[in-house]
């Protein structure tokens, strides 16, 4: 009975998150922080950032991947399934309804204006998320160098995301190995 209660809590928590957020995984970060870290204390800020990093470098939708990780941490494989279903259910419902009326939906002037307003709101949420992620992850000088290199590569040179991610992974591994060698030489 306790397990069923936990599974339903996971489902409805992620259903709520999935139904009130627009704009993809990054715009969900503030809501995920509030629900999962502040309110429920299911994960830490560091875990959320780790889940985001993994979710961005694996196939699939970021928010769905994060919900799967959190669900698994809370209740194993059943938790992962219920959290994932909770996250995708609102989208399935909304997309099904829109698909039913898409022919007339696209031509309604107030819908077009609402979508423009939503886009501006999403841009603000993304800006907030980027600033928050920057503050939480860029702690040392080499973090800033890596951040700047990734930004310049993507923004100015249109580098492919996978190349940027793999380069960051390689840099992190090399940095770690160099530090291990330095620590070994100091002993």
Mean pLDDT by 10 residues, the chain (187 residues): 95 93 73 91 92 83 91 97 96 84 73 82 82 86 90 94 89 88 73
How is residue 107 written in tokens? 């031509």
CA distance 73 to 112: 40
Q: What is the pLDDT of residue 59?
A: 82
How is residue 29 written in tokens? 């970060």
- Report which DSSP code applies to 26: G
CA distance 76 to 126: 31
CA distances from 101 to 98, 106, 112, 133 (A): 5, 9, 15, 38
Nearest to 161 by CA among 150, 147, 176, 174: 150
């Amino acid at each position: 009975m306790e397990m069923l209660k936990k599974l339903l809590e996971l489902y409805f928590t992620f259903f709520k998150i999935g139904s009130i957020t627009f704009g993809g995984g990054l715009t969900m970060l503030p809501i995920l922080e509030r629900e999962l870290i502040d309110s429920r204390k299911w994960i830490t800020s560091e875990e959320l950032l780790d889940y985001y990093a993994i979710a961005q470098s694996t196939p699939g939708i970021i928010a769905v991947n994060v919900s799967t990780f959190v669900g698994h941490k809370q209740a194993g494989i059943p938790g992962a399934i219920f959290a994932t279903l909770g996250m995708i259910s609102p989208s399935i419902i909304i997309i099904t309804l829109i698909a039913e009326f898409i022919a007339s939906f696209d031509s309604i002037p107030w819908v077009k204006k609402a979508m423009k307003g939503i886009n501006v709101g999403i841009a603000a949420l993304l800006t907030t998320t980027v600033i928050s992620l920057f503050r939480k992850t860029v702690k040392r000088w080499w973090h800033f160098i890596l951040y700047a290199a990734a930004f310049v590569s993507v923004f100015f040179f249109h580098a492919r995301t996978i190349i940027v991610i793999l380069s960051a992974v390689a840099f992190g591994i090399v940095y770690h190995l160099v530090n291990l060698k330095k620590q070994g030489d100091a002993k």
